[in-house]
Amino acid sequence: MKKPGGRLLVAGAGGFLGTTFTREAIAAGRTVAGAFYTRQPADSRTLARVVNVDLSRPAAARALLRDVKPAWVVNCAGFTSVDDCERDPERARLLNVELPQALATACAEVGAGLVHFSTDSVFDGNRGNYTEDDAPSPLNVYARTKLEGERAAIDALPDTLVIRTNFIGLSPARRTGLADWLAGSFESGQRISGFTDCVFAPLLANDLARTTMEMMTLGLYGLYHLAASDSSSKYEFARLLGAALGCDSDLVTPACVTTAGFVASRPLNTSLSPSRAESALGRRMASVSDAVAGYVALRKARGPAAINQPAEA
């Protein structure tokens, strides 16, 4: 079991989850180093170290860990665009399989702990409420490579903490997340298509980060689902968010993901059961409404963000 304290190295520190994780870890009093490739973390001044590295290069992970000497690596890096993964399966493999494998191997060499984030998309989505014991059946390149990445990390470092999840939150510049896109659309009075056939169980990214640190402190490892205690269709989610923002929920028009014309196939119901994590933590996970309320509170505190690009709803 790894020691809970010590320096954290967040890989992908300028990404969506990496930015949130870094902020929450610093707020919790942790010393945090951040590794980025093309997007420098917004809060660089608050980090103990900021390292620019291309983790797709062979031996880059080993050199990074020997340099930074972290007690823990939190891997938020990956190739996360589902359609881009379909178009470029080699890069998907490099970033979603070989990158976590190299980080896990380097962690094993220097005695560091590893947290690796994976996705609810590893399932085929025919049923929903999936537990860690359910057999994954990925439908697209993103999901297949994420599943392979989980296995590669655990093979190289058996006490890796692998977290399958889905999250919403305030997204950094150049990476508009679902909630920011919906909120921007509501606030400018634009109509929005919401998928009625697509069900998920997202947590607020800040809650996900805090819960992950709690699990690290408890010395938990292996595979866990961190998800909301209930689930929602993306259509219902969009309406919930509109209402919580005080906007017109009727701007959301029902639509179907199956006819949306995406490059890659999407699983329909990817809701995860967080019961294993709830037992280990001794508490219930937040609900989808809690995640929405948390997001709206953060957005009101920050002010509206620019709408950069459409996200999937």
Ligand X SMILES: NC(=O)c1ccc[n+]([C@@H]2O[C@H](COP(=O)([O-])OP(=O)(O)OC[C@H]3O[C@@H](n4cnc5c(N)ncnc54)[C@H](OP(=O)(O)O)[C@@H]3O)[C@@H](O)[C@H]2O)c1
The token pair at 122 is: 């590893």
C-beta nearest to ligand X: residue: 15
Kindly tell me which of 227 and 246 has the beta carbon lying closer to ligand X: 227
Which residues have a Cβ under 8 Å from the Cβ of 270 and sit 6 or more positions away?
120, 121, 123, 125, 128, 130, 166, 199, 200, 201
Which residues have a Cβ under 8 Å from the Cβ of 164 and sit 6 or more positions away?
118, 119, 120, 122, 132, 150, 223, 224, 225, 226, 227, 272
Whether the Cβ atoms of residue 201 and residue 120 lie closer than 8 Å to each other = yes
Shortest distance (Å) from residue 189 CB to ligand X: 26
Per CB under 6 A, the list member of 140, 165, 206, 233 interacting with ligand X is 165
C-alpha–C-alpha distance, residues 249 and 189, integer Å: 10
Which residues have a Cβ under 8 Å from the Cβ of 178 and sit 6 or more positions away?
168, 234, 311, 312, 313
Kindly tell me which of 17 and 114 has the beta carbon lying closer to ligand X: 17
Kindly tell me which of 56 and 265 has the beta carbon lying closer to ligand X: 56
Return left, alpha or beta for 66; rule: phi > 0 is left, psi -120 to 50 is alpha, else beta: alpha
The terminus-to-terminus CA distance of the chain in angstroms comes to 40
Number of chain positions touching ligand X (CB under 6 A): 26
Q: Is 295 a catalytic residue?
A: no
Q: Which of 37, 130, 142, 295 is catalytic?
A: 142
Kindly tell me which of 234 and 248 has the beta carbon lying closer to ligand X: 234
Per CB under 6 A, the list member of 140, 145, 166, 271 interacting with ligand X is 166
Is there binding between residue 146 and ligand X (CB under 6 A)?
yes
Tell which positions 34-73 bind ligand X, by CB under 6 A. Answer: 36-39, 54-56
Binding window for ligand X (CB under 6 A); candidates: 63-71, 74-82, 246-254, 281-289 = 74-82
Is there binding between residue 232 and ligand X (CB under 6 A)?
no
Active site residues: 142
What are the residues binding ligand X (CB under 6 A)? 12, 14-18, 36-39, 54-56, 76-78, 80, 95, 117, 119-120, 146, 165-167, 175
